[in-house]
Amino acid sequence: MSTTTDAPGETQHVDLAISGMTCASCSARIERKLNKVDGVQASVNLATEKASVTFPSALSVTDIVGVVEKTGYGATPLVEDATGPGRAPAMTHDVVGQGSLRLRMVVAAALALVVAVLHMVPPIRDAAGTAGHWAQLLLTLPVYLWAAWPFHRAAAINARHGASTMDTLVSVGTTAAMGWSVVALFTGFTHDLYFEVVAVVTAFLLIGRYIEARAKAQGRSALTSLMELGAKDVAVLRQDAGTGAMATSEHRVSIEELVVGDRFVVRPGEKVATDGVILSGRSTIDASMVTGESMPVEVGPQDQVTGATVNGHGRLIVRASRVGSETTLARITDLVEQAQTGKAPVQRLADRISAVFVPAVLVIAAVTLLLWLATGQGFTQGLAAAVAVLIIACPCALGLATPTALLTGTGRGAQLGILIKGPQILESTRRVDTVVLDKTGTLTTGHPVLTDVVTAGSLPEHAALKAAASVEAGSEHPVAAAIVAGARERGVTLVTAEDFTNLPGEGVRAALKDTVVTVGRASLFEVVPEVLVEAMERADGTAVLVGWDGTARAAITVADTARESSPQAVQRLRDLGLTPYLLTGDNPRTAAAVAEQVGIDPANVTAEVLPQDKFAHVRTLQEQGRVVAMVGDGVNDAAALAQADLGMAMGSGTDVAAESADIVLMRADVDTVADAIGLSRQTLTVIKQNLVWAFGYNTLAIPLAAFGLLTPVIAGGAMALSSVLVVLNSLRLRGFGRA
């Protein structure tokens, strides 16, 4: 059960699956009841059908469930299994299931069509005569009593607790029309019958409810996909009893039995069971479902792998480093759930309006009927107007406006490797006008490459490179790796070095045949020719010297290169109205070179920034009136991420950075920054469009219905269409970022 306790004697937290909610009034009512309990803080989400409740230790989960049940709804604590991401989504509750809803919709639509023809098509109506009226009654009864039962049942449950919801409006409206028609048919006091109103309105509402249910399920599909991503079992290597210490064999076990330190096998095409470190084997990993990165990544010994990613062609042996709820996939799932369960400030306003909306509409409907009678109009006209008010005023679209957009937006973000931590973040992304970027690993690849070789005298470049690479082959330093890789790419054949010596902080030294070659800082040489001094001063990267007999012979430069996508990504940030800034610990020349490559204004580049000073730079920009988004990935970025108005952490970085950030990016690529801000802004835009439509619809439609300008049939159709439009508008977010 997903219950947590912060500290003894303090607060606990529980997530509940809520059943029986049908509209925003339901969620608002449950939330209001829970928050009335001393010390309880609750947030109830209609779209996810969940409640997130923090309560004092003096209460128990049973007490919280009891409060919800007394309000007239069901509540079940969500169960969390050991694997974290395998939690079953408890979001399938409703008054009736989707299958039952579909059956009721089909039956109601078919019967309503016949009733409408009998009532509205003059030749048929005239030919049927009185028999047609009785046929309408017989055909409408199953629609009213069975198909519309979910509305009546929900209305009755709420009425027992002195509450009213959208279902109250539907039930009261259709009951009034049905009662009037039955009495009229049996007594003959009038020829105005409204059976077609009952049948057609119920059919419209059921069609709308069914489409909503399907759309909500699609909006949640991203989270469901995440939960189902993980492997179900794993081949663990276990030491054979009674054999030698190194003898092991594979044992297929369920994923729940895997513990940190276990070694497991990943065969070609299999999913990696959990986060870990590769011990042996080489392959490619398809991480697209976790990071959104479409290209497979080459991996080998000591590389980190993430659970749920797919192995390519090679066989890997991996040591588990994280299991269960600690894995990357579990953290992603948690973040997405938190974001979808939370509420934006604008949604809380909509909920408060919905809570008072239904009682107000009941009063308006009664006043409408009285005014029609007071002005000398017929009772039937007054009743029709009152029923139309009841039906068209359902605040369903209002309740769905924010959560459906949030569900779809955050779900699409998860597919793109963008984890938005909560709905309140969306507002921050709208306000930001400045984005502060780190250089290494964000704008650049993070892997230095050989860029320049300058020699002194007549020494050929390839000879200098051969000497340097042969010595550096014994080092694991990134600069050494870049020199060796660069030499091999240029066709240089290395020779075997002997007596390799690492000079910490200075360089390396080794013997090539009878010559001792040194590679490293200038301080390692007695003589450094002027041409090499100048080469080092103008180097756009890290430069080292190579030489022998105390004299430097060549200067070799390696540099971190900009990603191919960085210039376009920076332009996308500009198109979003953001001014990019570059902060880096590198020297000014290197920083300027990278800024020029990616298109950042030199005036917005700050070089030689100490890690601990990033926080101060962000604050300085804020003091200048800028609203700052900070992108970082390390522990030293955590303070700056927290200080920024919008913190964005690269998922390949540290947990501290991810915890301090508002948005976690699973790909270390500045292109993802533009995607995240663009998607967040688009989600906020859709929410506002939905709210404007929902508010505008009810504001305009109620007066029209009260003045008799809308019949109950048109009102039912318009109400259902309003909700469907809101949901479909939200589903447009599923196409964000698709080509």
Which residues sit opposite 559 in a β-bridge? 449
Q: Which residue is listed with tokens 């039952």? A: 100
Query: Are 660 and 643 a contacting pair, CB within 8 Å?
Result: no
Residues in CB range of 103: below 8 A, 6 or more apart: none
Q: Which residue is listed with tokens 């439009």? A: 725
**In 399-474, beta strands by DSSP E:** 418-420, 434-438, 444-455
List the structure tokens of 206.
């059921």
Among 652, 619, 610, 620, which Cα is nearest to 634's? 652
DSSP assignment of 461-490 equals HHHHHHHHHHHHTT---HHHHHHHHHHHHT
Is 355 exposed, middle or buried, given 0-12, 13-18 or 19+ CB atoms closer than 10 A? buried
Helix H or strand E segment including 562: strand 551-562
Whole-angstrom distance, CA of residue 550 vs CA of residue 106:
92
Whole-angstrom distance, CA of residue 400 vs CA of residue 726:
7
List the structure tokens of 372.
């029609």
Give how far Cα 21 sits from Cα of 65, 75, 87, 379, 717, Å: 15, 11, 22, 34, 22
Please pick, among 167, 286, 438, 586, the residue that the annotation labels catalytic.
438
Give how far Cα 313 sits from Cα of 133, 251, 267, 284, 507, Å: 72, 22, 8, 7, 38
Whole-angstrom distance, CA of residue 430 vs CA of residue 684:
8
| 438 classed as catalytic | yes
Whole-angstrom distance, CA of residue 497 vs CA of residue 512:
5
List the structure tokens of 41.
């803080």
- Burial code (b: 16+ CB inside 10 Å, e: under 16) for 632-653 equals bbbebbbbbbbbbbbbbbbbbb
**In 392-458, beta strands by DSSP E:** 418-420, 434-438, 444-455
Q: Which residue is listed with tokens 């309880």? A: 40
Give how far Cα 338 sits from Cα of 232, 233, 268, 410, 722, Å: 24, 27, 34, 10, 28
Which residues sit opposite 509 in a β-bridge? 501, 518
For the chain, give the number of residues: 739
Running DSSP on this structure, what letter comes out for residue 527?
Answer: B
Whole-angstrom distance, CA of residue 145 vs CA of residue 108:
11
List the structure tokens of 165.
């919801």
Residues catalogued as catalytic: 438
